[in-house]
Structure 1
């Protein structure tokens, strides 16, 4: 990831959703292969559940084989259910931009190329949209990256959960070369820069 500064210097969002106690909330992010982003957020304290899936197109094309053709408008995404009293939407965004993926790549993440691997935030409310927009402007103004942020903000119309074999894929397949080469380094980066955000025992 072409960070100009180390992740310790990544700013906190100046604007955020309130850290309310009570009901859980959901955030939906796409940052390349959902196996890898799922592995990052599963380790974060306050994250109650992470489900891989698809968003951006219709239910007719919401399956792995079809999405992998790159001919739909679906992105591989994760649905993050979280406790806003423990971790805020803005903090999830900070990990999205600082650990989970490279937001300066268009329609790809490394060797994974295609529309389905785009950097995208699907917002469910105007407040989520506003917080995400503000943070992206904040990062661009701070010149965090060597290139512009290419993350798109798209309204969420529906989330389609992925097939069972994709759930907890990294945890179940740690010796898979792709997981070892792409997913594991992201989790290591999370542990290195943000150990205070990890679940106990991680």
Structure 2
């Protein structure tokens, strides 16, 4: 799709995040993989990269959906997945996404909805490496709807 845009989110296990985002109207495609703000592979985070139609689905709607997928106050952990690669992150693709993500994070933090500060990183997308084909649409391929325990 020529007028589509990309968004990249780290919300813990990428399988569940991918399945949830795929269900949104306006999502054209998804890829799971590892992303980092630089070429340093030691800083990689599990992410889902979303191709979406901005005429149908706004970037801010993707961010709101992202908040509901995980605990944005948890440092390097989502459920039973522990480690830096499971940290909460929004990787921006341009200045507009950066500004919208920072504003959304600030708004959530100031809302009083959470009992701890939001630790989600708002980071430039420096590197994205797609996971192997066996990881793409993993839950769908295995007849599962979530990767919770």
TM-score, normalization: structure 2? 0.92
Which is higher, the Rg of structure 1 or of structure 2? 1
Q: Which residue of 1 aligns with 2:119?
A: 150
Q: Are positions 1:121 and 2:101 aligned together?
A: no
Q: Are positions 1:167 and 2:147 aligned together?
A: no
Q: Which residue of 1 aligns with 2:12?
A: 32
In structure 1, what is the Cα distance between the partners aligned to 2:39 and 2:132? 16
Instruction: Pick one of 46, 55, 68 that aligns with 1:76.
Output: 46
The 3-state SS of whatever aligns with 1:77 is: strand
Tell me the alpha carbon deviations over residues 41-70 of structure 1, each in whole angstroms, 9 at most, x when there is no partner: 0100000001001111548x5xxxxxxxxx
Using the TM superposition, give the Cα deviation of residue 127 of structure 1 relative to its aligned residue in structure 2, in angstroms.
1.1
2:15/2:137 contact within 8 Å kept: yes
Q: Which structure 2 residues correspond to residues 1-150 of structure 1 after superposition, within 5 A?
A: 23-56=3-36, 58=39, 61=41, 72-98=42-68, 100-150=69-119
In structure 1, what is the Cα distance between the partners aligned to 2:102 and 2:113? 15
Moved >3 Å (runs of 4+): none
Label 1:141 to 1:164 Cα distance change in 2 as closer, same or farther (>3 A): same
Tell me the alpha carbon deviations over residues 94-142 of structure 1, each in whole angstroms, 9 at most, x when there is no partner: 00012x2110110110110001000001111111111011111111111
Using the TM superposition, give the Cα deviation of residue 175 of structure 1 relative to its aligned residue in structure 2, in angstroms.
5.0
Name the structure where helix makes up a greater proportion of residues: 1
TM-score, normalization: structure 1? 0.69
